[in-house]
């Protein structure tokens, strides 16, 4: 279970509601035959997509659009957002700065 105050979850597959209430409720669904590379539509929060993004950057807005796409397409993913508001260029900038410190 992933719980943190910084994460805003956009959907809850286990919470019922349309269309999740119509999906299979058991993880035994994984044992049934299916097409290759097809995600199973199971109303359980098994697969999570966590998007960490800077809403003020073009890349951040593109990441938000991708997250929104998965929710609107009813993908069997629980989608969460974390806003990265650091002024140092975000996570990529912070990682590059850490590499420079190593010498």
Q: How far is CA 7 from CA 33, 48, 83, 95, in A?
A: 34, 12, 8, 21
- pTM for the full predicted model: 0.75
Q: Assess contact for 48 and 11: CB atoms under 8 A.
A: no
Q: Assess contact for 50 and 80: CB atoms under 8 A.
A: yes
Beta bridge partners of 42: 24
DSSP collapsed to 3 states, the chain: CCCCCCCEECCCHHHCCCCHHHCECCHHHHHCCCCCCCCCCECCCCCEEEEEECCCCHHHHHHHHHHHHHHHCCCCCEEEEEECCCCCCHHHHHHHHHHHHCC
pLDDT per residue of the chain (103 residues) written in tens, 0 to 9: 678 899 999 999 998 788 898 999 999 999 999 899 888 999 999 999 999 999 999 999 999 999 999 999 999 999 999 999 886 554 544 443 344 444 4
């Amino acid at each position: 279970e992933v719980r943190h105050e910084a994460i805003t979850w956009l959907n809850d597959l286990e919470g019922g509601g349309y269309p999740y209430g119509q999906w299979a409720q058991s993880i035994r669904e994984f044992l049934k035959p299916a097409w290759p590379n097809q995600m199973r539509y199971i109303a359980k929060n098994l697969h999570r997509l966590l998007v960490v993004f800077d809403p003020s950057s073009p890349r951040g807005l593109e990441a938000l659009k991708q997250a929104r796409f998965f929710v609107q397409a009813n993908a069997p993913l629980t989608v969460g957002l974390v806003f990265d508001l650091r002024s140092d260029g975000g996570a990529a900038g912070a990682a590059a700065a850490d590499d420079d410190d190593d010498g």
